[in-house]
Amino acid sequence: MELLDKQTIWQVRNSYLGVYVHFPYCFKKCDYCDFYSEGIGAAPANDEKLLFQAYQKEILERKIHFPEIKNRTIDTVFFGGGTPSKASSKSWKDFLNFLRSEFSFADDTEISIEVNPEDLSAELLEEYDSIGINRVNVGVQTLEPKGLEFLGRHYDSERYGALVDVLTHSPIERVGIDLMYGIPGVSKESFYRDLNLFLEAGLPHLSLYSLTLEKGTQYSRDVTDHKKREPEENIQSEILTNLPVLLKEHGYLWYEVSNYAKPGFESRHNLKYWTYEPYLGIGPGAHGMIEGHRYGNPRNSSLYQKKPSNTKYEPADPSTELSLTLFRLFSPFRYLDFIDTYLDSESKIKYLRTIEGWDKKGLCSIESGVFQWKPAALLLLDDLILEISL
């Protein structure tokens, strides 16, 4: 990738392979979460060994379905969930050893894991560092107890209180946190207090999300039943438009709608999703995209362990996919390369005309084949993406 004034220009890069692994268990399932997960309390999952065996089996089966992937080099691995920090470090170590026995790894492969605050400790980070994990993301959401209660999160005040100290002394340099805003009952001042703590700590990656109402979640049902209030949309809009300015002052690049990083600390794995790169999705509820085909695994851990591979593959539609992912990037990207590589002639014409219209309205800049949104596009983004995806 090229660099322009410290900002990376993203381009087509589809010769590598990412691997996402879904660990479905949590201490407690959060009310707002629409990912497949199950709350099982403090004890380890009693089927952890069987689950990791199923991961290996699925990978071997995917290699049979798509023999070409054995020639690809893995350059990102992401352990997500659920709460992957709930699984033992030994299980992740053994799984990484298995992956290395089946694929070649790039020298600078990014290996990420999501951690919940109740699991985070200096000892855990030492363990992760020792087994090759080199990126950690902590799902903080808020430090406000009433906000955590609203979200239905398990809350350990001692662990939450030690977050900044543990992360600033981490042996793993690539660390980041998730924060959420627009939680009913949590003021914008409270959100900024939380954010400032982590800004002052200089963490290299920040994911800053607005609370959303996802169909099928407990939170959605509670809102329908008038037990809980909807997200604070006015506060969300105000914070959303203020964040790029605030974060820039602290040296962060705004590279995706909700993601900010110090230069060179972007989540390389998540960028695969946004730039249409291939990746294996492993585990119950995981989704993958290989050789132009998408698949999704059953959202049931027991069923997955009996039959790890869903063999129903759907052709991906590059025109729709690029509109919904690539145009979430606020970093510059070589849009002509993406258009020429992935789109048919009819889709190319539609894309080019739409982008030209955005440029005339002052919503983006296009120069030498490089596209970048202007801040004015932020609050209109969903509608703009709809223009190019229809």
pLDDT of residue 350 exceeding 90, the answer is yes
Neighbours of 129 (CB within 10 A): 15
Which among 11, 269, 286 is positioned nearest to 134, based on CA atoms?
269
**Mean local confidence (pLDDT), 157-185:** 95
Tell me the C-alpha distance between 260 and 176, whole Å.
10
Same domain, yes or no: 58 and 139: yes
Same domain, yes or no: 260 and 379: no
Same domain, yes or no: 347 and 210: no
- The pLDDT value given to residue 154: 81
Q: What is the percent of the chain where pLDDT is above 90?
A: 86
Q: Where a domain ends, among 273, 304, 339?
A: 273
Q: What are phi and psi of 77, to 5 degrees?
A: -130, 135
Mean pLDDT rounded to a whole number for the chain? 94
pLDDT of residue 3 exceeding 60, the answer is no
Which among 192, 322, 201 is positioned nearest to 251, based on CA atoms?
201
Does residue 54 lie within any of the structural domains? yes
Same domain, yes or no: 40 and 156: yes
- The pLDDT value given to residue 311: 81
Q: How confident is the model at residue 382 (pLDDT cuts 50, 70, 90)?
A: very high
Q: What is the span of the domain harbouring residue 188? A: 16-273
If one counts the domains in the chain, the total is 2
Q: Where a domain ends, among 273, 308, 330?
A: 273
Same domain, yes or no: 171 and 244: yes
- The pLDDT value given to residue 14: 84
- The pLDDT value given to residue 8: 85
- The pLDDT value given to residue 58: 97
Which among 132, 133, 96 is positioned nearest to 112, based on CA atoms?
133
- The pLDDT value given to residue 6: 59
Same domain, yes or no: 221 and 354: no
- Residue pair 66/291 in contact (Cβ under 8 Å)? The answer is yes
Q: What is the CATH number of the domain that holds 382?
A: 1.10.10
Does residue 281 lie within any of the structural domains? no
